[in-house]
Amino acid sequence: MQKTHENKELKKVVETWAEELNISVEKLVLSLGFKPSTLLETSKEGLEHNSHDIKRIKRLLKKLENRFENKHQIWEWFTSEKIPALGEITPSDVIKKFNGKGIDTLLEYIEHKELGGFE
């Protein structure tokens, strides 16, 4: 029963987020490094991990709100901007490649840039 509740909660978060960005749930999930077929169909521990990572990614993107005019521009940066300091790959690709460590790396990169750091 608990898994079903967590499944519905995570599904609602993802659907709402996709709607805010005016993109499909599948595109959102793929950009976050998840497989649409397995995001929700997993163990209780897997759901907790996926939910935790999605919340961390949302917090990461929220940190950028003062640098961009809107969520669409933030999402464009996340999916399209190649970052030289991270090997000329997009933030989305960093997460796809390194999972949780990728989120940590991006958080460090953003903090470095906020402090006036160079690439």
Tens digit of pLDDT per residue, the chain (119 long)?
566 777 888 889 999 999 999 999 999 999 999 887 777 777 777 778 888 899 999 999 999 999 999 999 999 999 999 999 899 999 999 999 998 899 999 999 998 888 876 65
Helix (H) or strand (E) holding 112: helix 91-114
Cα 26 to Cα 22, 35, 63, 74, 85, distances in angstroms: 12, 8, 24, 18, 29
Domain membership flag for residue 68: yes
Model's pTM, two decimal places? Answer: 0.84
76 within some domain: yes
Q: Is residue 93 part of a domain?
A: yes
Residue 119 lies in a domain: no
**C-alpha span between 69 and 85 (Å, rounded):** 24
**What is the extent of the structural domain holding 10?**
2-114
